[in-house]
């Protein structure tokens, strides 16, 4: 395998780097920004891709953010790679903020009460959903009956409010990032084209100077 790691990272090290990458999140952010700026595409397509990635990061489609961002980017005729890179906005530092705010907004939009017992109830909901998943997976290989009560409760109490509450903030954040990134990408590409033009002109000047130097040294020119 060409892209397979020769040295497998221990599980704890991989989890630690997922929560806090080497070099810190600031370095990771600058790396992603640099990669986005260097994408070989039109600025408005790159900006639309950023919108797609940021928008998807506000949805509860965990494990499917890359696929969802790519599909939204294709639907918008945007740069798919920019959409994948923009999902970086959803990371272990921002997910708790996004999740809590989206669920609160979603429950308010759905007309549901948010009481003081909510954290305890939320933990029980996740536990029940996990038990259903574990039981149903084992039931695939046995004659046991599958149970869906915990998963249905998770969908009703967590997933649906998260989805509803994340749509508007996701659109707002995506539009904001679109209008912020568009002039930045345009300016970067303009500067890059100017630098390439200057290098090309300098290369041509050196080649012309070498031709003139060779011409002046050619004995045939003196005859």
**86 occurs within a structural domain:** yes
Residue labelled with tokens 């959409």: 83
Task: Answer whether residue 11 shows pLDDT above 60.
Answer: no
**Helix segments in the chain, DSSP class H:** 11-19, 24-37, 43-57, 65-75, 80-86, 95-109, 118-139, 149-154, 160-217
Q: Which pLDDT tens digit goes with each residue over 66-117?
A: 999 999 999 999 999 999 888 988 887 888 899 989 999 999 999 887 665 5
**109 occurs within a structural domain:** yes
| Lowest-pLDDT choice from 25-39, 69-83, 168-182, 204-218 | 25-39
Average pLDDT, integer, range 30-38 = 64
Domains identified in the chain, total number: 1
pTM for this model (two decimals): 0.73
**194 occurs within a structural domain:** no
Degrees to nearest 5, angle at CA 113 with 109 and 118: 115
Q: How confident is the model at residue 126 (pLDDT cuts 50, 70, 90)?
A: confident
Q: Which domain holds residue 63?
A: 11-181
**140 occurs within a structural domain:** yes
């Amino acid at each position: 395998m060409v892209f397979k790691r020769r040295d497998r990272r221990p599980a704890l090290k991989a989890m630690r780097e997922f929560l806090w990458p080497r070099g810190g999140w600031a370095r990771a952010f600058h790396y992603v920004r640099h990669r986005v700026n260097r994408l070989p595409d039109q600025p408005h397509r790159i900006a639309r891709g950023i919108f797609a990635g940021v928008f998807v990061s506000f949805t509860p489609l965990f494990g499917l953010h890359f696929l969802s961002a790519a599909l939204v980017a294709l639907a918008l005729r945007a740069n798919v790679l920019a959409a994948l890179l923009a999902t970086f906005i959803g990371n272990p530092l921002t997910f708790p903020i996004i999740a809590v705010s989206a669920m609160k907004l979603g429950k308010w939009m759905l007309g549901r009460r948010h009481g003081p017992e909510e954290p305890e109830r939320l933990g029980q909901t996740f536990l029940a959903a996990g038990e259903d998943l574990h039981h149903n997976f084992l039931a695939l290989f046995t004659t046991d009956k599958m149970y869906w009560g915990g998963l249905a409760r998770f969908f009703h109490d967590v997933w649906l409010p998260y989805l509803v509450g994340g749509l508007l903030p996701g659109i707002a954040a995506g539009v904001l990032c679109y209008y912020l990134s568009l002039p930045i990408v345009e300016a970067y590409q303009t500067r890059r084209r100017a630098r390439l033009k200057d290098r090309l002109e300098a290369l041509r000047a050196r080649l012309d100077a070498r031709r003139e130097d060779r011409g002046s040294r050619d004995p045939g020119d003196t005859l």
